[in-house]
Amino acid sequence: MSTGLIEGKTARRRLPWGPMARMAGRRALFAAPVLLAVTFGVFAVADASPFDPVKAYTGTAGLTASQENLDQIRANLGVDQPLTTRWWNWLTAALTGDFGDSSVMRQPVADVIAERMGWSVLLAASAFLIAIVLGTALGVLAARRQGGWLDRCASAAAYTLEAAPAFWLGLLAIWFFALELGVLPAGGLTDTASDVITPGQVASHLVLPAAVLGISQLPWFFLYVRQGVADALDEDPVRGARARGLSETSVLLGHALRSGMLPMLTLIGSRVPELITGALLVETVFSWPGIAAATVEAATSVDFPLLAALTVLATTAVLLGNLLSDLLYGLADPRVGFDG
Amino acid sequence: MADTLWRSTGRTRRSTRTVRISFSAVTVAAVVLAVLIVPPLAQLDEQAVDLSKKLLPPSWEHPFGTDDVGRDLLLRCVYGLRISLLVGLVAALVATVVGTLVGAAAAAFGGWTDRIVMRLVDTFASVPHLLLGIFIVAMFRPGVWPVIASVALTHWLSTARIVRSEVLSLRSRPFVDAAISGGASRLRLTARHLLPSVLPQAGLAAVLMVPHAMWHESALSFLGLGLPTHQASLGNLVQSARSSLLAGDWWPTLFPGLFLIIPTLAIAGLAGAWRERINPRRRSELML
């Protein structure tokens, strides 16, 4: 950034692939024990809880089954083995892609995840896009006139939105857009009447959940861009640009926004936990067939194999997000480097 | 430096800031009074079902309207806030005590203890909070204590980090050297000199944690994984209002949400002012 003037735009910096790869490798080394600990923790919590895998497996049939049958199932499921053995068996099977069978979806856990992953990624990506575009636009406008009416209104709205639960926003959006105005569908992936998935149908069903998830993430992006641009407007590069007589637009977008957006861009990866939290609520409200909705279903019907796999999956996503965030930070600010 | 919402840079700012703080203080006081006084004084049964009055829109008699079995929503919301606030307070208290002890112990013992404890904190922080909460509640079945435990278990991490870094920075101060030269043991040093100095920071974290914990409880209850349905917490109220909402009646959904947002903003407003007082140089950050 600051060296741009000296090096000129023709001398593009090459990406430091080596240090970046080494950082990713170090993070993978750190991630392995974390994932081990999380999987063990998941098994330990289940072991300490009153949850009984045999009852969960047999369901209502377990009430009438004979004790012999129940004991047989218990042995088949390996429930009578100690905690560490069960954990180790699950772990070795998981490494080969076998996460067991989901009792609530009546299919292998790996299939559930593969079927639903795409819809969740679509929803999350659309929501992120909405949050970044809206947040950046509003943030720049608010920072331009700090203390002005737009800044005051947008900041107050951002703090209010940050306090508002995503499920509540989703329900009110359903009431207003689907019931009062009747312009958008209230939930699901396609109309109930149709059994084929067409892009047009998915798009119209995506609007509300993506908008609600995006708006619930918006305050964070807005407040960061606003702060970053406002700080940048006070600094020497902007003063220099103004002194050279550049137009206000070019100062704002070319100079202030470029450095003001950095903190936000580099922290995007660390927003993964909040995104997952939001998705858990929004997918449930809108009956979106993603993995977050499956997590809630698995939890309500105590489907341990599915819940365990999804917890590990979410942890992996968070770790990847942290890595992405650190890589971007090192790229954006060479002084930070890739030593973490 | 650019001004932020809670920072004063001049006369006009100071006045809006004072207004904001007084407004927050009045709101918090009103909330506390309402949840303490209304239930014993009103002598009304918030569970009283009156099917002749079901789903009445807001009116003078029922300012928030009535729900699908004719219960007054204002009364339900006050009771819901009472339960949510209680769960939030207990969870925040447990999380703060655990976080302060763990953070102080990690910093005081240092070395391998510190490394292992902080790695454990990192590991916990890698699981999204709500997901961990969902997992714990799913395994232990919904109820008051699993909810409190799951919220507390996901919230002590930030306090532990804050307290640890605060203790570490305090250790280089002269009064700590003086205490060590005076022959203070490690335990005495931590309990007598370090912990009292980190209490304001831990207290601030605790206050900010209450709305967060309430939010968590509501989310869990809304997903059907929180408090039992007969305990009308704010999340349960929104959950039970879903069928009415799909019939087009908005008030049973709107008001419980507002009862969550307004106390959150008020508590955050007060905590922001407090943070400026104990730590004036630090720029005030995002609220929650």
Domains of chain B: 24-38+70-287 (1.10.3720.10)
Q: Which letter does DSSP use for residue A14 in this model?
A: P
Q: In sequence order, which residues have a C-beta less than 8 Å from that of residue B195 and are 6 or more positions away?
A: B100, B104
Per residue in B52-70, pLDDT (tens digit) is 777 777 877 777 877 777 7
- Judged by CB atoms within 8 Å, which residues 13-32 of B form the interface with A? 13
Q: Which letter does DSSP use for residue A107 in this model?
A: E
A38 in B contact zone (CB under 8 Å): yes
pLDDT band, residue B15 (cuts 50/70/90): low
Taking an 8 Å cut-off on Cβ atoms, the answer to whether A180 and B248 are in contact is yes
CA distance B52 to B72: 12
Q: Considering CB atoms only, which of A50, A219, A295 is closest to B134?
A: A295
**Chain centroid, CA A302 distance in Å:** 23
* Main-chain dihedrals φ then ψ at residue B228, nearest 5 degrees: -60, 150
Residue A151 identity (one-letter amino acid): D
- Cα–Cα distances in angstroms (integers) from residue B33 to residues B41, B85, B104, B119, in the given order: 11, 12, 35, 42
For residue A303, the chain B residue with the least C-alpha distance is B138
Taking an 8 Å cut-off on Cβ atoms, the answer to whether A299 and B4 are in contact is no
Q: Considering CB atoms only, which of B127, B256, B265 is closest to A314?
A: B127
Name chain A contacts of B142, Cβ cutoff 8 Å.
Answer: none
pLDDT band, residue B99 (cuts 50/70/90): very high
CB B83 within 8 A of CB B139: no
Q: Considering CB atoms only, which of B122, B135, B238 is closest to A307?
A: B135
CB A102 within 8 A of CB A112: yes
pLDDT mean across residues, chain B: 81
Per residue in B118-176, pLDDT (tens digit) is 888 988 888 888 998 899 888 887 788 888 988 898 889 989 998 888 888 888 888 88
Dig out the tokens for A187 from the structure.
Answer: 């939930």
**Chain centroid, CA B40 distance in Å:** 24
Who wins on pLDDT, B13 or B66? Answer: B66
Taking an 8 Å cut-off on Cβ atoms, the answer to whether A299 and B135 are in contact is yes
pTM greater than 0.95 (yes/no): no
Dig out the tokens for A196 from the structure.
Answer: 């084929």
**Alpha helices (H) in A49-95, listed in sequence order:** 53-58, 61-64, 67-77, 83-95
Residue B196 identity (one-letter amino acid): P
pLDDT score of B75: 84
For residue A274, the chain B residue with the least C-alpha distance is B128
The H or E element spanning position A105 is none
Per residue in A195-208, pLDDT (tens digit) is 677 787 888 888 89
The H or E element spanning position A101 is strand A101-102
Name chain B contacts of A104, Cβ cutoff 8 Å.
Answer: none
Neighbouring CB atoms inside 10 A of A188's CB total 13
Q: Considering CB atoms only, which of B136, B140, B223 is closest to A296?
A: B223
pLDDT score of A4: 43
Rounded to a whole number of angstroms, the distance from the CA of A179 to the nearest CA of chain B is 6
Taking an 8 Å cut-off on Cβ atoms, the answer to whether A160 and B253 are in contact is no
Q: Quick one: which of A140, A148, A131, A152 has its CA closest to A261?
A: A140
Who wins on pLDDT, A297 or B281? Answer: A297
For residue B137, the chain A residue with the least C-alpha distance is A299
Rounded to a whole number of angstroms, the distance from the CA of A310 to the nearest CA of chain B is 9
Largest CA distance in chain B: 77
Neighbouring CB atoms inside 10 A of B86's CB total 16
Dihedral, CA of residue B161, residue B165, residue B166 and residue B171, to nearest 10? 140
Name chain B contacts of A319, Cβ cutoff 8 Å.
Answer: 126
Rounded to a whole number of angstroms, the distance from the CA of B92 to the nearest CA of chain A is 17
User: What's the CA angle centered on A82, arms A80 and A85, to 5 degrees?
Assistant: 110
Residue A107 forms beta bridges with which residues? A102
Q: How much is the ipTM here?
A: 0.84
pLDDT score of B8: 46
User: What's the CA angle centered on A312, arms A87 and A324, to 5 degrees?
Assistant: 140
Per-residue pLDDT of chain A (340 residues; tens, 9 = 90+): 444 444 444 455 677 888 888 888 888 888 888 888 899 988 888 888 877 777 777 766 666 777 777 777 777 776 777 788 888 888 888 888 888 888 788 888 888 898 889 999 999 999 999 999 999 999 999 988 887 888 889 988 998 898 899 999 999 999 998 888 877 887 777 776 666 777 878 888 888 999 999 999 999 889 888 888 888 888 888 888 888 988 888 888 888 888 888 777 777 888 888 899 999 999 999 989 989 988 998 888 888 889 889 999 999 999 998 888 888 878 777 777 777 6
Q: Which residue has the tokens 């009062």?
A: A180
pLDDT band, residue B285 (cuts 50/70/90): very low
For residue A143, the chain B residue with the least C-alpha distance is B2
The 3-state secondary structure of chain B reads CCCCCCCCCCHHHHHHHHHHHHHHHHHHHHHHHHHHHHHHHHCCCCCCCCHHHCCCCCCCCCCCCECCCCCEHHHHHHHHHHHHHHHHHHHHHHHHHHHHHHHHHHHHHCHHHHHHHHHHHHHHHCCCHHHHHHHHHHHHCCCHHHHHHHHHHHHHHHHHHHHHHHHHHHCCCHHHHHHHHCCCCHHHHHHHHHHHHHHHHHHHHHHHHHHHHHHHHHHHHHCCCCCCCCCCCHHHHHHHCHHHHHCCCCHHHHHHHHHHHHHHHHHHHHHHHHHHHHCCCCCCCCCC
